[in-house]
């Protein structure tokens, strides 16, 4: 299997209309999103935007937005569904909305990339089961914090505030 460089990624990205990601030297094509997926992305972005008004140092971003992460002198480029930047070039939190075509990648190689990059919080949103799984970076390793359902509140450590999970799945 070919190990792609950042220059290869740029050439591929410029030659196609499809969105692509470069993770640990491998190119991943990105599929289109469902309405449920987009609703969850929009809801998360709105929640974070509203929370960031009180915390002016934080700013949410949504895909498509290239996030370049360098690990062991290898540049990776991903487009997380939602990112929260607080006083850093590196997101404080990343939210990935799972779909059948991306769930495996989100739970494995992207999780490994975010962990190795030092991203403090990682959230996996399952729209089918209306469930959010949360991971926290503790001593350089993601620890599973728990699963949160519609009746739960969930802490977003970057803001030191809770969010009602049901707000993520409205619409």
Note if the bond before 6 is cis, omega within 30 degrees.
Answer: no
Q: Return the pLDDT at 171.
A: 76
Q: Return the pLDDT at 19.
A: 86
Q: Return the pLDDT at 1.
A: 60
Q: What ranges do the domains of the chain cover?
A: 34-65+79-169
Whether the full predicted model's pTM is greater than 0.85, yes or no, is yes
Mean pLDDT (10-residue bins), the chain, 171 residues: 86 84 91 87 95 82 93 94 92 95 92 97 96 98 98 93 95 76
The answer regarding whether domain 34-65+79-169 maps to CATH 3.90.1570.10 reads yes
């Amino acid at each position: 299997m070919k190990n792609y460089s950042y220059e290869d990624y740029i050439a591929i990205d410029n030659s196609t209309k499809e969105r692509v990601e470069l993770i640990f030297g491998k190119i991943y094509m990105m599929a289109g999103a469902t309405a449920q997926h987009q609703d969850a992305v929009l809801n998360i972005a709105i929640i974070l935007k509203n929370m960031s008004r009180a915390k002016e140092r934080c700013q949410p971003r949504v895909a498509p937005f290239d996030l370049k992460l360098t690990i062991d002198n290898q540049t990776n480029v991903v487009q997380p569904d939602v990112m929260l930047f607080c006083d850093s070039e590196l997101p404080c939190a990343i939210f990935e909305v799972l779909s059948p075509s991306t769930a495996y990648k989100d739970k494995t190689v992207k999780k490994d990339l975010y962990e190795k990059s030092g991203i403090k919080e990682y959230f996996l949103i399952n729209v089918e089961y209306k469930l959010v799984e949360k991971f926290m970076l503790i001593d350089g390793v993601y620890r599973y914090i728990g699963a949160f359902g519609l009746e739960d509140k969930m802490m977003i450590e970057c803001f030191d505030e809770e969010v009602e999970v049901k707000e993520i799945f409205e619409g």
